[in-house]
Structure 1
Amino acid sequence: MAYWSELPPELLTLIAQRLETQFDVLRFRSICRSWRSSFLPKLYPLPKRLPSSKKTKAGCRFSLNQITIATLFLVRLPPATENRSNQTDPSCWLIKVSDGKPLNPLTDSGLNANLPKVLDLINFQVIELGHGYVGRYSVHINYRFRGLYRNYIEKVEILRLSPDGDDFMVVGLFSHGVEYLALLKSGENEWTVLENMHGIQDIVTFNNKFYAIEQSGRTIIVDQFFSVGFIQHAVGSPSNRKFLVESSGNLLIVEMIFLENSESNAGFRIFKLDEENPKWDEIKSLGDQILILGLHQVVSVSAYEFHWGDQGNLIFYSIDGSVEDRVMYVFDLEKGISIPLENCPVYCNLFWPLPVWLNSPESVVSSSMEATPGTEIANLGICEDVGSSFSSS
């Protein structure tokens, strides 16, 4: 009989190097003392003290002042304890954590709830579904012999070029009327601003390249050497909103079509990248995948993660109003209809309210408890003032 604790260190290192999320590393290190000591937690510090850009042709100077990571978690009951839940108290719950604040994954509104700061992973399964980066930008505008400043929040993408994370590329969106693509490599003192590419609606990293989609539907591809390519054939309509997301190893464009005089407020079309040609092919089904369209982050997740079998082909999204007033919907790609989440308790309860079982006494581990081998403890990165009201700022 083989003992896992006696695996050779070189094999443990090879296994650990292939773990992609902090929760995979946490579970790996909790097996036993030898596994714990064989691999330190992965810490990829976010880039700081980035330079300001040169003036653009429009006389604007941009700065990316801060980058924050936003992580989407699925918290669920183990299969053996799912009988503790029902339709009004489901076995799964989604939460987004950004800058130490718990947020609604669709609207980014703060969750005003008494959430536990630490969970015992013996009683619960915590799965990192995905993460993204959000930047706090500022722009200095020369306007009639005086300067104007404007701050805004927009998506950022980071591509790690080395295993330790010290070498990286950052792609940002410099926005003043239109969105410009801006590139920076670690160690460089100047941004490369692609001013002939504008109206950028989304950016994403895929297969060690950056992809961006313009409002016109043109796709921009940038590799780590700053070589720029295009997929000239436009996808969709300039009047529709477009998102980029990796799903089951494929890159997708998700086109949100705003509808008038229809029972559904929005429709969707999905396109899959054909890298060899290259071109976009429309697809009619997501299979078992479910898309979660946040304000600055799109995540694809299998319906099996929710214990729904293969019942995917859904898109969760929100529209209209301020952050606090956005209305959440679910779109069924097969039926071609969208329904407000408030009319679908099974889906709505994925986001709100907090499940009773999540705040039960057995879910919480004392923050002073020391993690020992065989005991998994998850800190979701929520601030110490988690019991108070939260704002989305």
Structure 2
Amino acid sequence: MDERVECSDLPMELLERIGKSLDTRIDVLRFRSVCNSWRSSIPSSSFHSNSPRFPHTSWSWWLPACLCESTLYRLQRLNPPTPDEGLLLIKVDESNLGNLRLLDPYRNRYEVVSLNLLDFRVLEFTKAYTLKCQCNCHTPTRAGIKKVLKVPNSARTNVNDCAVFIVYSTGILSFAKCEDENLTRVGDQGIRYEDIIVYEGLFYVVDRLGRVWWIREPLELVEFMPRLPRSDLYSWRKYLVDSCGALYVVDRGRDCPKVYKMDRDKPEPWDLVNNLGDRAFVLGNDCCFSVSTEEFYGFKRNCIYFTDIRTSVFNLEDDRFEDLAPLPNLL
């Protein structure tokens, strides 16, 4: 029988190879917390200690902008008070000073919560990004910006190797690498872009008409899906969201939001969706995602949560907006 090898005696080459495969910050933290040799084998993520800087934007013409990251985590209590208690969703704002602040993911406001992570199983759910004024990274500054997307989205990416796509409220789509002096405009100047997403490893953007464009090298846009049927040109906004492996566009029109599902195998590739089943969509400026209401606590099935300006909830079952019910503090 082979002798057991203590974790601290594993070859450094093996530890470095394992460390390079870790994509999330929490996995890096767990890996480095095992022992001293594991801690020294890979560096901590440098993203938060030195937030990457990008060219000035329309709201800070004389200052570079800092890319600030928030992470949504799914928490499962190890010893729940009831067997049917659902998963909890928390949002953590990580500043360039390394400080962690807890955000209410439903209302995007800060909460003071004492949380013992030893009581929970913690998994990273998704990430969200904003551009903020360099001189005060604690102040959320989103004026004029609809969405920021970081590439590549990995904890092991060097801070100086990342880049961003920016969708402005004016409909302009721009791209910049870290420390670039100027933004690069992407796409047609006559098209207003609304939202951007990574779907199945590729980048897609939706425009005012509901057309979906694939962004391919070198920053070239190729039409991927035709315009939405009955698209509202005067709608407030269009969102892209990935739910259970399918791509959806939510058209927040003047009357009520409409949900369309992409199906490229059909002659009419957009299906109007009137029922999300047990799913709920959460749509905002920093990220859009879908959750199972049977798994996560606090979300109502077949509803869309808009969190970009002020939180509102649209119920697809009766086609009306509802007040957001207050959530008890379960932590």
Secondary structure at the aligned position of 1:24 is classed as: helix
| Residue aligning to 2:81 | 82
The residue type paired with residue 181 of structure 1 is L
Name the CA distance, whole Å, in 2 between partners of 1:206 and 1:85.
32
SS in 1 for 2:82: helix
Per the TM alignment, residue 22 of structure 1 is displaced from its structure 2 partner at its CA by: 1.4
Structure showing greater radius of gyration is 1
Give 1:171's aligned residue. Answer: 165
Preserved contact between residue 243 and residue 290 of structure 2 (Cα < 8 Å): yes
| 1:243 CA drift (Å) | 0.9
Whether 1:193 and 2:185 are equivalent positions in the alignment is yes
Instruction: Give 1:354's aligned residue.
Output: 329
Shift of residue 272, structure 1, vs aligned partner: 3.0
> 1:323-354 CA deviation, whole Å, 9 max, x = no partner?
5xx3532635xx465563556xxxx53xxx42
1:110–1:168 Cα change, 3 Å = closer
Contact kept in structure 1, 2:282 and 2:306, CA below 8 Å: no
Identity of aligned residues (%): 24
Q: Which secondary structure does the structure 1 equivalent of 2:29 belong to?
A: helix
TM-score by length of 2: 0.71
8 Å contact 2:276–2:303 — kept in the other structure?
no
Are the structure 2 counterparts of residues 98 and 16 from structure 1 closer, same or farther at C-alpha, using a change threshold of 3 Å? closer
- The 3 A distance-change label for structure 1 pair 198 and 314 is same
TM normalised by structure 1 equals 0.61
Structure 2 residue identity aligned to 1:157: L
For the residues of structure 1 that align with 2:266 and 2:184, how far apart are their CA atoms? Answer: 28
1:21 aligns with 2:5: no
| Unaligned stretches of 5+ residues in structure 1 | 54-60, 138-149, 260-265, 359-393
The 3-state SS of whatever aligns with 1:23 is helix
Query: 1:65–1:165: structure 2 CA closer, same or farther, 3 Å change rule?
Result: closer
When residues 290 and 129 of structure 1 are mapped into structure 2, their CA distance, relative to the original with a 3 A threshold, is farther
* 1:103 counterpart SS class: strand
Check conservation: 1:70, 1:98, Cα contact below 8 A.
yes
For 1:3 and 1:280, the matched residues in 2 are separated by 56
Larger relative contact order (Cα-Cα within 8 Å, sequence gap ≥ 6): 1
Q: In structure 1, what is the equivalent of residue 67 of structure 2?
A: 67
Aligned to 2:172: 180
Could you tell me which amino acid in structure 1 is paired with residue 322 of structure 2?
A: P
Matches within 5 A, 1:232-243: 233-236=226-229, 237=231, 238-240=233-235, 241-243=237-239
Closer, same or farther in 2 for the Cα pair 1:134/1:186, shift >3 Å?
Answer: closer
Give 1:298 deviation, angstroms. 0.8
Q: Counterparts of 1:1-393 in structure 2 under 5 Å?
A: 5=7, 9-44=12-47, 45-50=50-55, 65-78=65-78, 80-83=79-82, 92-95=88-91, 97=93, 99=95, 101-111=101-111, 114-116=112-114, 119-136=115-132, 152-160=144-152, 163-175=157-169, 178-186=170-178, 188-194=180-186, 196-231=189-224, 233-236=226-229, 237=231, 238-240=233-235, 241-259=237-255, 266-272=256-262, 274=264, 280-282=269-271, 284=273, 289-303=279-293, 305-306=295-296, 314-318=302-306, 323=309, 326-329=310-313, 331=315, 335=317, 337=319, 340=322, 342=324, 348-349=326-327, 353-355=328-330, 358=331
Shift of 1:65: 2.5
Q: Which amino acid aligns with 2:214?
A: I
- Partners of 1:67 and 1:136 within 8 A in 2: yes
Amino acid at match of 1:115: V
Q: CA deviation at 1:213?
A: 1.0
Q: CA deviation at 1:180?
A: 0.8
Root-mean-square deviation over aligned CA pairs: 4.3
Contact 2:77 2:121 in 1 (8 A): yes
